[in-house]
Amino acid sequence: MLEALRPHLVLAYRRAEARAQVRSLVERLTTFDELDRGLIELGRDGRVAHATSGAARLLPRYFANPREAIEPGRVERGDGVLVIQRLSEGWLLLEERRDPFARARLTPREREVLVRATRGETDREIAAALGVSPRTVAKHLERSYAKLDVRGRREAARLLRQVAPRGDRAPGSEHLQ
């Protein structure tokens, strides 16, 4: 009889151990919550059972009903993006990323030129692709840098990586190949 129960007991023990580890992590989250991040524990129905204070601040910004079932993914609202990642069974990590490009009020053309520039294209290559002069490209970049308060392509690229790390699509690059 015990042999039949052994796999179930091992699984239950592993889950309890994982929950204990995550709960100890939750206890140490005071600085974590200050960084626009939060952690939620899901109930068996997939709805929020418990939330850290950071998660409690973030959820109402992105969900009409913060206690509804939440799935991993991305939720965009205004100039922010809430990235939801599964840590382990029943636990989700929430991280808010602000889009400085939305606040800077870049024109669609300025965004397009800036994204191409941060990918390493030269002014001439961008101009040829867009059918404008290199001087027009330089002017778009000059305005974009001023709006974003950066000094050049490197700083703009760094800013872009903060908004869309690890291969996420860059804001304004939806129509680019």
Which pLDDT tens digits describe the chain residue by residue (177 residues)?
778 888 888 888 888 888 887 777 666 555 555 566 888 888 888 888 888 888 888 889 888 887 778 888 888 887 778 889 888 888 888 888 776 666 778 888 998 999 899 999 999 999 999 999 999 999 999 999 999 889 999 998 888 777 665 444 454 444 444
For the chain, residues classed under CATH 1.10.10.10 are: 100-163
Domain 100-163 listed as CATH 2.60.40.10: no
Helix orientation angle between 108-118 and 153-163, rounded to the nearest 10 degrees: 100
Give, for 102, the enclosing helix (H) or strand (E): helix 100-104
pTM of the model: 0.49
The 10s digit of each residue's pLDDT in 32-76 is: 555 668 888 888 888 888 888 888 888 898 888 877 788 888 888
Strand order in the sheet with 91-98: 48-51, 37-42, 91-98, 80-88, 73-77
Task: Say how far apart CA 64 and CA 6 lie, in whole Å.
Answer: 44
Residue 111 neighbours by CB distance under 10 Å:
22
CB 162 within 8 A of CB 155: no
Strand, helix or coil for residue 15? helix
Q: How far is CA 110 from CA 102, 144, 151, in A?
A: 12, 6, 15
